Structure formats: structure tokens, C-alpha cells
Amino acid sequence: MRTEEGFALFVREHSSALLRTAYLLTGDRSSAEELVQDTLVRLFPKWERVAAADAPLAYVRRSLSNAWVNQRRRAVRREHAFADVPERPDERDPFGQLAERDRIWAGLADLPDRQRAAIVLRFYEDLSDADTADALGCRVGTVRSLISRGLATLRDSMEPGRTR
């Protein structure tokens, strides 16, 4: 199979999973789409190496999470303030009106980047500790520590009567 065909097939099969991961990391659909697109654009020139990996999806997911962490580390962000905010075409919340979800989301947003990435990959993407460690480029023990500290912080933020 040609490189272009293999890449196109991979994107068709896995773009929704990658977009979901990116959304959970960024918290914004357009930022998630941009993160996925940037990651795939960066990986396309070396797609033969990616496709030859034991788990190409894990390779791309690791690249995606690394790109997000690196993006968050940059001192200057690409976000710009505008005097007039453009209208959003669709204000519906696809996940429902659950207040608990909003509190969890706020708690996730307050976590340090690596803790947040570890929790998203482990629980939302249902990766094993080993796969999460591989995606983050660290040891399994580090992943477990990141998850433990992140969950403890989330539990504290979810206590009744506690506000953000």
C-alpha cells in the first residue's frame, strides 16, 4: 500500500478517537481539531516509520499528547484577544446539562498538564498504565503517581460545599 493510502486509511479509522483525546486535553473543539491536524501534518513526512511501529495509534497518540504538553509550555500562546467575539453557530451542549460534569471538567482544567494528560489517557481513552506511560514517555510508576495525585486533587475539588 502506498504511503498516502495508508495514511488516509489511518486517518479515516482513527480520527474520531484522536479528536476525542485532543478535545479532552484542550477543552475546546476547534483547538482539538487544530491539535490533531498539526500532529498528523507533522507525522505525514515520516509516515512509513509511524506505520511500521508496533502500535501506530499509540505512536500518534503519544505525539498528540506531547504536542499538547509542549504547546502548553510555550510562554507565548497563539491565542489573541478580540474586541468582538464571533458568534458561535451552535451553543448546544452535546454532553447534556449535568452540573457534575462541569465540576469535573473544571477540576481537570485546574490539574497540572502531565496529571491531566495521564488521567485523560488512562480513564477517558481507557489505555493501560503501560500504554499511558508509553504515550507520555515516562515510567509506569510515574503514571500511577501522576494519576494518584490528580485523582486526589479532583476528589478534593468535588467535596460538597466546595466551590472553584
Residues 64 and 14 in one domain: yes
Q: Which amino acid is at 119?
A: I
| Domain count along the chain | 2
Confidence label for 81 from pLDDT (cuts 50, 70 and 90): low
Domain CATH for 4: 1.10.1740
Residue 48 covered by a domain: yes
**Co-location of 54 and 120 in the same domain:** no
- Do 119 and 163 belong together in one domain? yes
Q: Are residues 4 and 55 in the same domain?
A: yes
Do 61 and 111 lie in a common domain? no
Is 60 exceeded by the pLDDT of residue 95? no
Range of the domain at 128: 98-164
Which residues, including other chains, have CB under 8 Å from residue 59's CB and lie 6 or more apart?
A: 50, 53
pLDDT at residue 163 in the model: 57
All residues at 6 or more sequence positions from 118 whose CB lies less than 8 Å from its CB, including other chains: 132, 136, 143, 146, 147, 150
Q: Judge if 118 and 65 occupy the same domain.
A: no
On the question of pLDDT at 86 being above 80, the answer is no
CATH number, domain at 148? 1.10.10.10
- pTM value is 0.56
Contact in structure between 60 and 11 (CB atoms under 8 Å): no
Residue 10 lies in a domain: yes
- Give the pLDDT band of residue 76 (cuts 50, 70, 90): low
Per the CB < 8 A criterion, the answer to whether 19 and 33 are in contact is yes
pLDDT, tens digit, 9 for 90 and up, residues 23-32: 988 888 999 9
pLDDT of 89 reads 62
Tell me: do 69 and 136 sit in the same domain: no
Is residue 84 over pLDDT 90? no
Q: Are residues 107 and 145 in the same domain?
A: yes
Per residue in 105-155, pLDDT tens? 888 888 999 999 999 999 888 899 999 999 899 999 999 999 999 999 988
